[in-house]
């Protein structure tokens, strides 16, 4: 069953629809585009729903988790999968919980405090990467939707702080921490060409650091942040060009045994849809508005990123009421939700041929940072339903 058919047949709205078969096919394509020395981890925070994590199992090399909650949930869902534990502000309880799980294969250490806490708590060898906040020159981050590095941020460590950690790691009391390499996640929303420039910077910097300190840094994790183009739902990040570029990069660094990436958004965004219905169509001060059931408390993505969420209209011919059907034709419509705030907007002045109360809207590109980043409790509306399509299985 296609997502469109499923959305038209739903009896309860709003609802999230996920196409797990499409997700697996996409992840397999991504994997096939990457060189063998590249490990693919999925950043669980993009969408941690259990069926999504399970669908990716076997297609990704592991999962990146950024909290004790994600750690417990991902491990319970895919118990045999390797995990990388990142995130700023790891609490003592989270550090202790992660140390109890052998599935945690890598730690992304974000500060000297964390390094000290980990060394003091570890009762077994722990493989770590130091998370670096590197300046990325040459306008490499131009166009990034979010920048976690290359500027003042609470993420990772500046290069001089990394040097301090190297000195600590060589001192007594830190024997259990095995430094494997460097982690950096500097920006999100980057095209393949931009990602490659950033990856080259991170790998080059790591190689220089290793040479300077005569350290065997065999691993580099260059993070996630592969762009999703919400303005063109059919567009995809150019994994082929990215994979070819990484292949060239690896050829220049034969000592690098593992280059890891940890995309979130670009893996799952395209496999999720949010279906709802138009409750009302209104004309206000010269503009048309469609008010839908649900809103940004279910799908916050357009509000946080400031974009129009792409959608298609699923016409519904039935209008069971004796009063006139509110409608707009050949116009631009702002699609808002049920919340009492002007920020509850899913799409702004989107062109529509016809839109009537009772019609359904199917928002695409809603499989990442959508439901799980939304403020569900605001105004106490009901939660959406969730449907996982898997080929012919429903
Ligand atoms: C959020 C995050 C990712 C994934 O970012 P996307 O933009 O979803 O690809 C990867 N690594 C770290 C450390 C993150 O915080």
CA nearest ligand 1 atom 3, residue: 224
If you measure from the C-alpha of residue 65 to the centroid of ligand 1, how many angstroms do you get, rounded to a whole number?
10
If you measure from the C-alpha of residue 291 to the centroid of ligand 1, how many angstroms do you get, rounded to a whole number?
33
Whether residues 238 and 293 share a domain: the answer is: no
Predicted pLDDT at 150: 81
Predicted pLDDT at 141: 62
If you measure from the C-alpha of residue 163 to the centroid of ligand 1, how many angstroms do you get, rounded to a whole number?
24
Whether residues 280 and 136 share a domain: the answer is: no
Task: Report which ligand 1 atom has the smallest distance to the Cα of 265.
Answer: 8
Predicted pLDDT at 139: 58
Whether residues 249 and 282 share a domain: the answer is: no
Is 367 a pocket residue for ligand 1 (Cβ < 6 Å)? Answer: no
Residue 21 lies in a domain: no
Is 260 a pocket residue for ligand 1 (Cβ < 6 Å)? Answer: no
Is 223 a pocket residue for ligand 1 (Cβ < 6 Å)? Answer: yes
Going from the C-alpha of 35 to that of each of 23, 32, 110, 219, 369, the distances in angstroms are 20, 8, 28, 15, 28
CATH number, position 74: 3.20.20.10
If you measure from the C-alpha of residue 137 to the centroid of ligand 1, how many angstroms do you get, rounded to a whole number?
21
Whether residues 293 and 234 share a domain: the answer is: no
If you measure from the C-alpha of residue 160 to the centroid of ligand 1, how many angstroms do you get, rounded to a whole number?
24
Predicted pLDDT at 135: 85
Instruction: Name the domain boundary from 263, 289, 322.
Output: 263
Is 114 a pocket residue for ligand 1 (Cβ < 6 Å)? Answer: no
Residue 25 lies in a domain: no
Residue 26 lies in a domain: no
Whether residues 230 and 151 share a domain: the answer is: yes
Predicted pLDDT at 148: 77
For residue 380, count other CB atoms closer than 10 A to its CB.
7
Whether residues 248 and 197 share a domain: the answer is: yes
Is 110 a pocket residue for ligand 1 (Cβ < 6 Å)? Answer: no
Alpha carbon distance 334, 292 (integer Å): 11
pLDDT tens-digit profile, the chain (394 residues): 899 999 999 999 999 999 999 999 999 999 999 999 999 999 999 999 999 999 999 999 999 999 999 999 999 999 999 999 999 999 999 999 999 999 999 999 999 999 999 999 999 999 999 999 998 865 556 666 667 788 889 999 999 999 999 999 999 999 999 999 999 999 999 999 999 999 999 999 999 999 999 999 899 999 999 999 999 999 999 999 999 999 999 999 999 999 999 999 999 999 999 999 999 999 999 999 999 999 999 999 999 999 999 999 999 999 999 999 999 999 999 999 999 999 999 999 999 999 999 999 999 999 999 999 999 999 999 999 999 999 865 4
CA nearest ligand 1 atom 13, residue: 185
Residue 29 lies in a domain: no
Most informative mutation of 223, 239, 270, 272 for ligand 1 (most atoms within 8 A of CB): 223
Residue 135 lies in a domain: yes
Q: Are strands 83-85 and 104-109 parallel, antiparallel or unpaired?
A: parallel
Most informative mutation of 40, 42, 43 for ligand 1 (most atoms within 8 A of CB): 43
Whether residues 167 and 282 share a domain: the answer is: no
Most informative mutation of 225, 236, 301, 305 for ligand 1 (most atoms within 8 A of CB): 225
Whether residues 238 and 364 share a domain: the answer is: no
Instruction: Name the domain boundary from 244, 263, 282.
Output: 263
Whether residues 60 and 139 share a domain: the answer is: yes
Residue 6 lies in a domain: no
Q: Just list the catalytic residues.
A: 340
Instruction: Name the domain boundary from 226, 248, 263.
Output: 263
Whether residues 210 and 285 share a domain: the answer is: no
3 state SS for the chain: CCHHHHHHHCCCCCEEEEEHHHHHHHHHHHHHHCCCCEEEEEEHHHCCCHHHHHHHECCECEEEECCHHHHHHHHHHCCCCCEEECCCCCCHHHHHHHHCCCCEEEEEECCHHHHHHHHHHCCCCEEEEEEECCCCCCCCCCCCCEECCCCCCCCCECHHHHHHHHHHHCCCCCCCEEEEEEECCCEECECHHHHHHHHHHHHHHHHHHHHHHCCCCCEEECCCCECCCCCCCCCCCCHHHHHHHHHHHHHHCCCCCEEEECCCHHHHHHHEEEEEEEEEEEEECCEEEEEECCCCCCCCHHHHHCCCCCEEEECCCCCCCCCCCCEEEEEEEEEECCCCCCCCEEEEEEEEEEEECCCEEEECCCCCCCHHHCCCCHHHCCCCEEEEEECCEC
Whether residues 300 and 184 share a domain: the answer is: no
If you measure from the C-alpha of residue 321 to the centroid of ligand 1, how many angstroms do you get, rounded to a whole number?
48
Is 310 a pocket residue for ligand 1 (Cβ < 6 Å)? Answer: no
Is 46 a pocket residue for ligand 1 (Cβ < 6 Å)? Answer: yes
Residue 204 lies in a domain: yes
Please tell me the total count of domains within the chain: 2
Most informative mutation of 45, 144, 224 for ligand 1 (most atoms within 8 A of CB): 224
If you measure from the C-alpha of residue 24 to the centroid of ligand 1, how many angstroms do you get, rounded to a whole number?
20
Task: Report which ligand 1 atom has the smallest distance to the Cα of 267.
Answer: 9
Predicted pLDDT at 392: 61
Q: Residue 341 is part of which domain span? A: 270-389
Whether residues 283 and 223 share a domain: the answer is: no
Tokens describing residue 224:
């996630």
Alpha carbon distance 166, 211 (integer Å): 13
């Amino acid at each position: 069953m296609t997502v469109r058919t499923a959305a038209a047949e739903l009896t309860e709205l709003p609802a999230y629809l996920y196409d797990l078969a499409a997700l697996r096919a996409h992840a397999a394509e991504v994997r096939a585009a990457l060189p063998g020395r590249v490990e693919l981890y999925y950043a669980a925070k993009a969408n941690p729903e259990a069926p999504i994590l399970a669908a990716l199992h076997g297609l990704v090399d592991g999962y990146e988790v950024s909290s004790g909650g994600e750690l417990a949930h991902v491990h319970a869902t895919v118990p045999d999968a390797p995990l990388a534990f990142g995130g700023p502000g790891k609490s003592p309880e989270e550090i202790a919980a992660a140390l109890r799980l052998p599935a945690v294969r890598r730690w992304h250490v974000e500060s000297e405090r964390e390094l000290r806490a980990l060394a003091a708590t570890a009762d077994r060898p722990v493989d770590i990467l130091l998370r670096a906040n590197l300046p990325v020159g040459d306008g490499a981050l131009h166009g990034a939707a979010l920048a976690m590095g290359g500027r003042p941020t609470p993420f990772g460590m500046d290069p001089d702080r990394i040097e301090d950690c190297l000195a600590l790691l060589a001192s007594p009391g830190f024997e259990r921490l095995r430094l494997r390499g460097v982690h950096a996640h500097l920006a999100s929303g980057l095209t393949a060409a931009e990602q490659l420039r950033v990856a080259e910077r991170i790998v080059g910097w790591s190689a220089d650091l290793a040479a300077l300190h005569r350290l065997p840094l065999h691993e580099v994790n260059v993070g996630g942040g592969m762009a999703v183009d919400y303005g063109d739902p059919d567009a995809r990040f150019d994994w082929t060009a990215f994979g070819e570029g990484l292949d060239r990069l690896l050829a220049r660094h034969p000592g690098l045994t593992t280059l890891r990436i940890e995309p979130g958004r670009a893996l799952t965004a395209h496999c999720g849809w949010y279906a709802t219905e138009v409750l009302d169509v209104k004309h206000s001060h010269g503009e048309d508005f469609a008010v839908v059931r649900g809103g940004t408390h279910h799908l916050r993505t357009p509000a946080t990123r400031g974009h129009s969420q792409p959608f298609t209209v699923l016409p519904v011919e039935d209008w069971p009421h004796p009063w006139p059907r509110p409608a707009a034709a050949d116009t631009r419509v702002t699609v808002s939700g049920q919340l009492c705030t002007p920020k509850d907007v899913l799409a702004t002045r989107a062109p529509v041929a016809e839109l009537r109360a009772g019609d359904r809207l199917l928002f695409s590109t809603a499989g990442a940072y959508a439901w799980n980043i939304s403020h569900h409790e605001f105004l106490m509306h009901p939660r959406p339903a969730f449907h996982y399509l898997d080929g012919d299985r429903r």
